Amino acid sequence: MPLAAETPTAEDLLDAFCDLRHERFAPAEFRVKWANEPWERREAYALRRAVFCIEQGIFPGDDRDAVDDRAQLIVAAVCVAGMPEQVVGTVRIHRESEGDLPDLWYGSRLAVHPSFRRHSRLGVSLIRLAVGSAHALGCRHFRAHVQAQNAALFRSLHWRDLGDEALFGRPHVRMEADLAHYPAIHDPERGFATFSRRDR
């Protein structure tokens, strides 16, 4: 009688969605940029599903929504010989007019592959390009709904609290970036390189 298959863990499913192609070496360079290639968008959406649907269990099956139809995806990709090769981080930005705030932008769906969360401050680099590229497009207010456990990081990056809220059954903090600390980035399609540094 065959043995019953073991139930896959969240880590197994993450690996299935986001199979790393660089297990034999630690990547030293990453490119943070607007996603402008089909493979970049495909891998960004796969990473989001892995993080928000499988790891965190926030969404059933897929986290994509109507915002994706008008949002700009941003990716952090492992570089080999200076060329982006695999997406290991992502975030999206979009313009969202609200009342008397016509130049309001939002960032959302910030995700970094678990194997790279201690490398090179990729999340910080994604936030920098998200806010900086929106700033270059006329943004005067940049906001996000931040999971409560991540609010301290955003405060350290010059974001202020606008109030607590519950989204998807989890505590969040509405936050706004201080644009004085985020110079406009006018070439987000090229973006910038960031280099590996494992935090201790």
Domain residue spans in the chain? 27-195
Looking at the DSSP assignment, which residues form a beta bridge with residue 98? 101
| Exposure class string for 123-154: b at 16+ Cβ within 10 A, else e | bebbbbbbbbbbbeeebebbbbebbeeebeeb
pTM for this one?
A: 0.86
**Tell me: the pLDDT tens digits for 76-85?**
999 987 788 8
Secondary structure (3-state) at 24: coil
39, containing H or E segment: helix 38-48
pLDDT per residue as tens digits for the range 5-41: 454 455 555 555 555 554 445 677 899 999 999 999 9
Question: 27-195, what's its fold?
Answer: Aminopeptidase (3.40.630)
Could you read off the pLDDT of 172-195 as tens digits, one per residue?
999 999 999 999 999 999 999 998
